[in-house]
Each structure stands twice: as structure tokens, then as C-alpha cells.
Amino acid sequence: MQTGIAEKGDTLRLAYAQYLTIVKYKAFTQVTVRNPWDLTRVLHTYLLVDKRKPLPRVLPQGTVVRIPLERMLVYSAVHCGLFDELGMVEAVRGVCDLPYIRLEKIHRRVAEGKVTDVGSSMSPNIERVIALRPDGILLSPFENGSYGRIEKLGVPLIECADYMETSALGRAEWMRFYGMLIGKEYESDSLFTKVEYAYQALRHVADETEEKPVVLAELKQGSAWYVPGGKSVTGQMYADAGACYAFGTIAENGSVPLSFETVFDRARHADYWLIKYNQMHDKTYAELERDYRPYAGFDAFRKRRIYGCNTAKVLYYEETPFHPERLLKDLIAVFHPNLFPNYEMRYFTPLSE
């Protein structure tokens, strides 16, 4: 069955995603995922074949996925939320890390016995996975990683490398691939078009602003302060929101550990400071100073220009990967408050005293 294909395929134009290539043939669709940690290599090749039709006699090398998937095991709440938005939450039949999933519909379906909780994503309960009989397992890859016993089940492993993309729209564009998996290609294409249009319209508004305030991000964790690199999705979004990121010159697409002294030296005069945290109550200036007294030395602290996102209360991680336009509008409203005077922020709010 594994041989070359003489037929010329139709390559789907992807405008932003760097690690994804989709080529359509008459009998199947070939999806190639590049290795984000070594761009000279392929992470995985998938051959999507309609399950209602016979398997083609001739196929290239790759993992055959019979679509649409109807019994998925999904590791991430991010993808559960997307499938729900595309009207196919019923195709999610198993999840990992249920305590960290904040989607009420998933919890209700678990209680009803329609979704199986297979435990931790680091070590899923293999017996529950086998009993689930998934037709696809969606998980997040990591560098030089293996998936243990789950790899030996003969179930297609869909490696969701969207989180490694270096632009917000690049990550969001992966929804076009995920839509194909569940038979919602048209719907996912339509959704992405709306997201792209809204994002670019907002970016254009921010581009027109003359003032570009300096922004600082995150908090110290232990002995290091992990700041997003200038080429990260976060760093790029600050630029798209009309701000000057204090660490925008760091040419990394992930987070970089810096000492407090380094961060303070470079960003003590930043105009705004954005933090994310997870706790039952909203963080205050008094609590922030109790956490680490030197925080009070930043201009943004003294001028009361710190905005916090309490991920225990808002669906930041669940929504923003595939709806970056929502986050972008929040950021623009922080950096340029006169542009949206009556806007009610979705994720970030000013810290109280």
C-alpha cells in the first residue's frame, strides 16, 4: 500500500501556520506537520481518508486517519472548546486532566457517562483508554518526547503542535486541520476567516496610534522571571496591539528565564505591566507587594498601571488560542484606552488596592 503518488495534489493555502502543510488528493488529504524543534525534519504525516469510502489501494507513507473522527480522546481543553464551537463536542469521548478543564459541557458529559476521564495526560489510565476504543488521540507533542504505552494501541496519534506557532493567527489557523478531522471543514474555514478578519481589523486600528507604550509581562517564579521572547505569540501580540514590548529584542519564540535584576533594569520604567495568575480571589497591589516587596519599585506599580488576568475565573487558556482577536481587543483597550471607551474587558482587569 505504501508507494509513490503520481497524481498532483491541490495544496491548501495557509497564510500564517508555519508548521502545517495540507495537500488534497482525490482519494485522501495529506497533512504534514513540521518538527518545530528541527525544521529540516517532519514530525508526522497524516493521510485523511473518508471512512465511508474504501481505503485507497495506493497511499504514500504516513498515518492513516479515517475521518470524520467520532470517538476522540482529547488531551487539551483548548481543543475540546474548539470542537464544541464547531458543533461536534459529541465526538469528544475521552479527556485527560479533567480537574483543569473548565468547560461545563465536558464536565456534564462526564457525569452523564458520555465522556471518559482517563486521568493524567502524563500517565493516562491505559485500561480506560482501551475500553474507550478511540478512533483518534489528540495530544500536544514535546521535544524528543514519547507517549509510552499509548503509542502501542494502534490508534492514530494526532500531534497538536499548534502551540509552537510563532503568531496568534498561525496557531488559530490550525483549526482548519482540526475541522477536517471531525467533518467540519467548511465550518472551521468560515470560523477562521471571521477570526482573521477581526484580528487584522483590530491590528490596523492599533497601527494607527502614534503612542507606543512600553509593556512588561508576567511575574517572578522562584529564582527566575520567565519573560515571553520577542518572537513568541505573546510578544507579537503586544506589537500588534500597538505597544513596545520591553523584551521584544529577545529573538526567542518561547519564554526566557531572567534574573529579577535584569528585568528591573530593563523594564522598571514600563508604562504597563500585565500579569496572569490562578487563584480563588483577585490579586491586589497589597498582595503583590507582600509576594515580593521589590515589585513596588516598578513605575507601573507606583502609577497603578498593572492589569491582571485571573485564569481561575476567566477562560483565558481555553479561548485565546483559537480566538486571538478577543485577547487583542483586551490588549488594545489596556494600551490605548481612548480607542474603546465603553469596552468591558474579557480577560484583563486593573488590579485593585
Assess whether 309 and 273 both reside in one domain. Answer: yes
Does 339 have pLDDT greater than 50?
Answer: yes
> Domain boundary residue among 159, 194, 229?
194
CA gap 42, 159 in Å, rounded: 12
Task: Give me the CATH number covering residue 156.
Answer: 3.40.50.1980
Assess whether 184 and 220 both reside in one domain. Answer: no
Assess whether 315 and 187 both reside in one domain. Answer: no
Nearest to 173 by CA among 22, 43, 346: 22
Q: From the CB of residue 149, how many other CB atoms can be counted at a distance below 10 Å?
A: 11
Q: From the CB of residue 122, how many other CB atoms can be counted at a distance below 10 Å?
A: 8
Assess whether 145 and 264 both reside in one domain. Answer: no
pLDDT digits (tens, 9 = 90+) for 22-37: 999 999 999 999 999 8
Residue 210: pLDDT band (50, 70, 90) is very high
Question: Which helix (H) or strand (E) element contains residue 106?
Answer: helix 104-111
Domain assignment present for residue 3? The answer is: no
Assess whether 50 and 159 both reside in one domain. Answer: yes
DSSP state of 284: B
Considering the chain, what is the average pLDDT of its residues?
94
CA gap 39, 24 in Å, rounded: 22
Could you tell me which residue, 9 or 268, shows the higher pLDDT?
Answer: 268
Share of the chain above pLDDT 70, in %: 97
Assess whether 224 and 150 both reside in one domain. Answer: no
What is the average per-residue pLDDT within 74-97? 96
In which order are the strands placed within the sheet that holds 272-277?
Answer: 244-245, 214-217, 272-277, 306-310, 349-350
Assess whether 190 and 233 both reside in one domain. Answer: no
**Number of compact structural domains in the chain:** 2
Longest dimension (CA), the chain: 69
Domain assignment present for residue 202? The answer is: no
- Cβ contact 231:253 at 8 Å: yes
What is the average per-residue pLDDT within 84-93? 97
| Domain span including residue 262 | 210-350
Domain assignment present for residue 231? The answer is: yes
Does 5 have pLDDT greater than 90?
Answer: no
Give me the pLDDT at residue 182, please.
Answer: 98
Residue 3: pLDDT band (50, 70, 90) is very low
Residue 72: pLDDT band (50, 70, 90) is very high
Domain assignment present for residue 156? The answer is: yes
Assess whether 181 and 238 both reside in one domain. Answer: no
Residue 253: pLDDT band (50, 70, 90) is confident
Assess whether 181 and 253 both reside in one domain. Answer: no
Domain assignment present for residue 201? The answer is: no
> Domain boundary residue among 160, 194, 228?
194
